[in-house]
Every structure is written in structure tokens, then in C-alpha cells.
Structure 1
Amino acid sequence: MTKIEPLGAVRERVLAALRQDIIAGRIGPGDRLVERELAERFGVSRVPVREAVRALVAEGFVHFETPRRAVVRRLTPKDVEELFELREALEVYAAGLAATRATAEALAELRDLLDQAATATHKGDAETITDANTRFHDRILALAGNSLLISVMEPVDGRLRWLTRRNEEWPQLLTEHKELYEAIASGDPERARAHALRHVRANHRSTVRHLFGEPA
């Protein structure tokens, strides 16, 4: 007997796939999300697709040009500025907390993620680089041990990944992550915050340069 997938689970599956396609650039800014085509692609009805698109609107990935035309947003300089302002405030704070709370086991996990990123950088594997770098930052946030901080970051996490995916200066990113790791491993919160701030601001400049061809 075939098990029927609950509507909510279908919606989440479609939402996760579309979100990842947008972050990875497989669906680009200005591309239209057509319910009928997406329903056929996922083998589902239009209802979960419609709900997934609305969720993407709420998350800031998509907007309605007309009531029936949903397209992936084109990020503006103001969008980027606001997201990096938030990232700077929260990730710098998180790095300081992580430096005082990270265990040897947690630091080993960060080191492993750096090794994965290094291997992927050598191969030029964009998907693996993005995944390892994202998990590296997620792990630092978790090490901060502040559930409220995580809940504040969660609504914009996807958009931040969308932005950072556009920074393809991978060797430089790897160097910055290694320096941030060493700062956190030192147990010195001021050093960790300083490296985190330098990293976020460098990433901001790189992202703006890639998107708009001008310095931040």
C-alpha cells in the first residue's frame, strides 16, 4: 500500500528544494516561478507549490511582480547592506561567545569542516565549498550557546547563504576561516570578535564587488 505524504511534508520538500535552487543559482534573479511547471517537476498538486512560493516570499527570496507572477528577487545594494549589518552585529558577538565556550570536541568539528572546505577549494567544487562554509558558520553560532541568538538569525539565514554563495573568492575565504578558527581556539573572545569582524567586512566587500562591480 502506497503511503500518502502529508500536505505539510510535501510543502516543506518543495520549499527546501526551491530555496536551495535559488541559493545555488540554479534559479536566478528575475526567473519566474510557474506553479504548473513546478507542480509537474515535483509530481505534486499546485497547492503545496503555491504555499512554498508564498513561504519564499516571506523569506525574502521571491516577490510578486503581479498577483499571478512570482519571480526571484534581484538584490539591491540596500538589501545587501542591511543583511551584512545584521550579520556583523550577530556573528561577531557569536564568535566572542564561542571562544569562551568551545570544547575540544567542538573545535575538532570546526577543524574537520575547514579540511572539507580546503579539499573542495582545491577542486573548485562550489557546492561543497558553500556547504562546508555554511556549516562552519552554523557551528560557531551553535557554540555560542545562545538559543535566542540562533532564533534571531534563523529568518535571514537563507538570504545570507544566498549572498555568500555569490562570493567566489574561495582561497581568501578559506584563509579567513582558518584565522577565525585559530582565534576561537585561542579562547580569547576579543581576538575572536576582531577576526569575525574582519571576515564579515571582507565578505561584504567581495559580495558587493561581485554583484554590483563597486566597492562597499
Structure 2
Amino acid sequence: MHTNTSTLAASAVDRLRQEIFDGQLPPGTRLAEAAEAKRLGVSRVPVREAFAALERDGLLEFTETGRTVVKQLTPQDFEELFAMRLLLEPAAARSAFPLSRKQQQLLSDNISATRKANSLNEVTRLDLDFHQLIVEASGNTRLLKLWRSLRTELELWLGYLHQQHRDRELDTRVDTAGSHEGILDCFQNRSAAACEKLTREHILSWREWLPMAELET
């Protein structure tokens, strides 16, 4: 019974997570346990567990009145995530240098997939996959653990911004692949210090999204 409940909860987590990332459940949407259980075709127990898991991931929040809502995105959230990326990723890039041939190929394959991506959600996922590959290559397990703890909220942020600015779809795909190509080239032809510097500059450029976020909040 416990195994079945856990499986149903995991399925509910995946379904709700995707609906949040796709914009079907936008920020501020109220979710009722009973209503979601009926909609998903499960009992309330796995839905309750799914809500708890998504709250831990930063996708849902529980209000003081006991309501469950899709997390509202604020410029303060963005600033905190931005600061953490700026702290973690340049250090990871320095530690990851030099990359093995296999690690370089994984990054190259990621860039090719980004150029062919069919949706902004896919671009977002591949973008974060690229950076996670570098963090993994650093060999620093604690740094990787911290980065992974941020990933869901990063994906929520980027996905939300992409949904709000679909006119940038082509530019986003091309710009993402292009900037990542520059980082890969740095790993292949330059130094650890150069990779750290370029990664820092790349993360700093991410802050250009904040004015757009402020317009939508």
C-alpha cells in the first residue's frame, strides 16, 4: 500500500510540476487537495504528499490561512537565485577545468540539442542541463548538492519568463546555444581562470531578465 501511494504521489508530482512549468498553473493559482485528487484520479493522500514535495522544491507555498498556491515569483526571489548562481557556477567552472573528452562531448551534444529545440520549455531544460554538466564535472559534491537544490526554482523562473516573452523564442534559442558554445570553446582552448571569468560574465548577463520580471509582477 505504501509503495502504491508513493508511486501515485510521484506521478502527481510529475504532472503538477509539468503543468506549472508549462504555465497551465500560473503563479498564484490556488490548489485544493480534494479538487486535485479528483482531477488526477487519485485519493487525497498522494496529492497531500505531492503538495509537500512541491513545496520543498519551491514550486508551491502554504499560506497562513492553510491554502496551497503556486508560488508567486518576486524580484527578490530572482536576486537571491542570481546571487547563488554567481557564487556557485564560476567556482564550478574553475574546478571543472580541464574537461575530459567525454565531458566536452556531452556539452557539445547539449548545444546541438538546444539549437534544435522545439519549445522554450525545452530550451530552459537544456540550458540548465548544460550548467549542471559543468557543476558535475567540478567533482565537488557539496557544490553540486547546493546547485541541484536551486534547479527547480531556476527552471520555474526561466520557464515563466519565457512564457511571458514568446516573441524572444528564436533569439533565446540562438543566444543560449551561442553563449554556451563560447563556454565550451573556453574549456577546449583556454585556462581555468578564463573559464571562471567567462562563466561569471555569462551569469551576470542573466540579470537582464529582471526588468521583464518586474513588469510582470
Partner of 2:129: 135
How far does residue 88 in structure 1 lie from its aligned partner after superposition? 0.9
Could you say which residue in structure 2 is the equivalent of 1:147? 141
Q: What does 1:59-98 align with in structure 2 at a 5 Å threshold?
A: 59-98=57-96
- Give CA-to-partner distance per residue, 1:111-165, whole Å, 9 cap, x none: 0110010112xx5x22322222222122111111111111122222100111222
Q: 1:159 aligns with which of 129, 153, 176?
A: 153
Shift of 1:28: 0.7
> Pick from 97, 100, 106: which aligns with 1:99?
97
**8 Å CA contact 2:97, 2:191 repeated in 1:** yes
Q: Is the 8 A contact 1:134 1:161 kept in 2?
A: yes
Alignment partners' CA distance in 1, 2:68 and 2:16:
13
Q: 1:151, 1:74 → 2: CA distance?
A: 25
- Tell me how large the CA RMSD over aligned residues is: 2.2
Structure 1 residues 108-127: aligned runs within 5 Å: 108-120=105-117, 125-127=119-121
More displaced 10-residue stretch of structure 1: 4-13 or 104-113: 4-13
Asked if 2 retains the 8 angstrom alpha-carbon contact of 1:99 and 1:185, the reply is no
Contact 1:24/1:162, CA 8 A, preserved across alignment: no
Aligned equivalent of 2:196? 193
8 A contact 2:21–2:121 mirrored in 1? no
- The one-letter amino acid paired with 1:38 is E
Post-superposition shift, 1:4?
9.0
Q: Could you tell me which residue of structure 1 aligns to residue 12 of structure 2? A: 14
Percent identical among aligned pairs is 28
**Most deviating of 103-112 and 6-15:** 6-15
Aligned residues: 207
**Can you list the C-alpha shifts for 1:151-183, whole angstroms capped at 9, x where unaligned?**
122222100111222255332222211111211
Listed as ranges, the gaps of 5+ residues in structure 2 are: 163-167
Query: Following TM superposition, by how much is the alpha carbon of 1:66 offset from its aligned partner in structure 2, in angstroms?
Result: 4.5
- CA deviations on 1:86-117 (whole Å, 9 max, x unpaired) are 011111111112222x1111101110110010
Q: State the TM-score, normalizing by the size of structure 2.
A: 0.86
Distance (whole Å) between structure 2 residues aligned to residue 63 and residue 127 of structure 1: 22
In structure 2, the partner of 1:175 is 178
Report the more deviating stretch, 63-72 or 150-159.
63-72
TM-score, normalised to structure 1, is: 0.86
> Quick one: distance in 2 between partners of 1:188 and 1:20?
39
Aligned to 2:30: 32
Shift of 1:49: 0.6
Q: Is the 8 A contact 2:13 2:51 kept in 1?
A: yes
